[in-house]
A and B are shown apart, each in its own frame.
Chain A
Amino acid sequence: MVESLDQIFVSLKHALLGFVPGNWQALASAILSLLPIFVIFPTLFAITTLLERKGLGRIQNRYGPNRVGPFGLLQPAADGLKALTKEDVVPHAADKIVHFLAPVVLVIPVFLSFAVLPVGRNLVAVDMDAGLLFFFAVGAATELSVFMAGWSSRNKYALLGAMRAIAQMVSYEIPLILSSVGVVMIVGTLSPVKIVEAQGTYHGLLPDWFVFTPWGLAGFIIFMIAAAAESNRSPFDLPEGESEIIAGYFIEYSGFKFALFFLAEYLGMFAISGLGITLFLGGWHAPLQSLEVIPSWFWFFAKLVAIILVFIWIRGTVPRLRMDQLMNLAWKFMIPMVLINVVGAAVWHFMQPGLARWLVSIALVVGPYLWLGKSLFQSKHLAKRTYRFAE
């Protein structure tokens, strides 16, 4: 009974495939694997916009939207209708083809990246051997679309926003990828399915997830900060800062295209959070052995919702980082931390289990953190301002 609830989607798919004639089976299987992605994640996007607005409202001592439907639950429907029926304004001087293609080029890689995430036991759309590399590759392809959006609008602010956005995304890709290198080293494979399986055992009180090791915790935090920066999420949302550069690189977009950008940003956040869950939080495993009766896909989405709530919480708390502060953080703090983290993972792997291993690992995390943190604070040389041409 527990097994069947856990595998309910797999058995549903097999039952549906029984209706399909022989030589269409491959195509039907592919479609049936991918269709849930197009249904579930946009629905989760709608729910997240509502959660975010109401959550931010409560944090800021006000109600969120509460007029459309009971407690504002139909607000995403109202937002969707508004986005669809707004007039699609294209500036006269804009590059029409590139302007049209930019949202499309942004959405496609994001949807592609959902294909390798293991959402539950036996529930991965495409089981690839180099799945992790595929994920990072399609993540990198989104940067080109940001540039296309900023350039084609023929607008100074859009171009500035696009340049900053690309600089930010490229800088934070390095901590993102390197923090997963530690996990890959320990597990020995790039396949997300196998990485989740490697975290499936339970020793003592806590499960064997990588986040409960010192290097794993540091890696997880670095991964989450880099993930927030990759999806242009507060406090790293200078490229789309609402009060500073108006809307940055999608300032000239209205209506449906704007909704597509918004969708792509949030879906990117879900995808990277999903990868963080797969790498560090044990994927679809339950926290305690006794809770394995609850289906695996429920645990994955529960963890995903928890991470989304933490993102919303951070958005309501931390002010926006300035561009130079952002770049300083990436290059002077996160890259050294993540390189030392890789060494820490190796040390953890090669030492014997016991207290010594814990002490050395914790020292390898806390020491660089304190030292690099201190040096970040000290790098403000507040001297007299000099002007190159004005004297």
Chain B
Amino acid sequence: MTIAFAIVAILTIAASVAAMSLRNLIHCALAMAVAFGGIALLYLQLEAQFVGFAQILVYIGAVAILIVFAVLLTRGGEAPEKSVFSASWIWGALVTAAVFATLAWTIKNSFASQREPPANVEATVKQIGDSLMTKFVLPLEVVGLLLTAALIGAVIIAMRDESPKTKMEDGRSKMEKPSAPGGHP
């Protein structure tokens, strides 16, 4: 456990705690962006350059923006009237401790944590690209299809609806447009 890891971990945890407990909703969203940055730093510490930069590009550059837009367009981030901590927080704390204990015990006793870390870590972009195109080509195509569906859905929701009234207006206006010069009967 090095100093760098400790600092990044504390930063990420503090940002996540702030993201759930701040009063102003926009502050929460920005704290979540900081938490994303912390996760990206953790990826970079593990020598996974591509994933770390993709995390910054996608999460901070797109998902955080999406979340702030959503907050902005729906509620506007007014401060809540009552406290963000509910009165029966002790039960929530007990459930959280139970879930954490289960997860921690599972991870500690799993296969992955007990084997040696690999000697030289080679996750170059070329290797990622090769495996994406050979071993993982089906997930890649499925993800592409999913994103296309999402894009088409967004366009359909945002498209102007063609009600019959406007269609008639357009039709009438097409008749009203002046014909070629010198063609008025």
Contacts and interface: CB of A to CB of B under 8 A. Distances in A.
Interface of A: 95, 97-98, 128-130, 133-134, 136-141, 143-144, 147-148, 151, 159, 163, 166, 170, 173, 188-190, 383-384, 386
A384 B176 contact: yes
Label chain A's interface by main secondary structure: helix
22 contacts: A95-B24, A98-B26, A128-B49, A129-B125, A130-B53, A133-B57, A134-B53, A136-B57, A137-B54, A137-B57, A141-B56, A144-B30, A144-B61, A147-B68, A148-B30, A151-B68, A151-B72, A159-B72, A170-B62, A189-B126, A383-B174, A384-B172
A196 B128 CA distance: 23
Nearest to B50: A130
B19 interface: no
Given A134-B53, A137-B56, A384-B170, 10 more contacts: A98-B26, A133-B50, A136-B53, A140-B56, A140-B62, A141-B61, A144-B60, A144-B61, A144-B65, A384-B173
Interface residues on B, range: 20 to 34
B64 interface: yes
A364 B75 CA distance: 48
B28 interface: no
A98 B30 contact: yes
B148 interface: no
B144 to A, nearest CB: 13
A98 B57 contact: no
Contacts of A148: 30
B53 A98 contact: no
Contact of A129 (B26, B69, B124): B124
B170 to A, nearest CB: 6
A141 B37 CA distance: 10
A98 B27 contact: yes
CB-CB nearest 6 A-B residue pairs: A140-B61, A384-B173, A137-B56, A137-B57, A133-B53, A137-B53
Given A137-B53, A147-B68, A384 B169 contact: yes
A345 B30 CA distance: 39
Contacts of A166: 65, 69
A137 B26 contact: no
A143 to B, nearest CB: 6
Contacts of A95: 24, 26-27
B33 interface: yes
Contact of A170 (B53, B56, B65, B176): B65
A128 B125 CA distance: 11
B64 A144 contact: yes
B166 interface: yes
Contacts of B68: 144, 147, 151
A133 B48 CA distance: 13
A129 B123 CA distance: 10
Contacts of A384: 169-170, 172-173, 176
Contact of A386 (B62, B65, B72, B166): B166
A129 B125 CA distance: 8
Interface string B41-82: 000000001100110110011101100110010000000000
A43 B139 CA distance: 48
Interface string B65-102: 10011001000000000000000000000000000000
B69 to A, nearest CB: 8
A140 B57 contact: yes
A98 B24 CA distance: 11
A16 B70 CA distance: 52
B169 A190 contact: no
Interface string B149-185: 0000000000000000010011011101000000000
Contacts of B173: 383-384
A130 B65 contact: no
A324 B44 CA distance: 39
Contacts of A98: 26-27, 30
- Which of B24, B27, B33, B56 has the most chain A CB within a 10 Å cutoff? B56
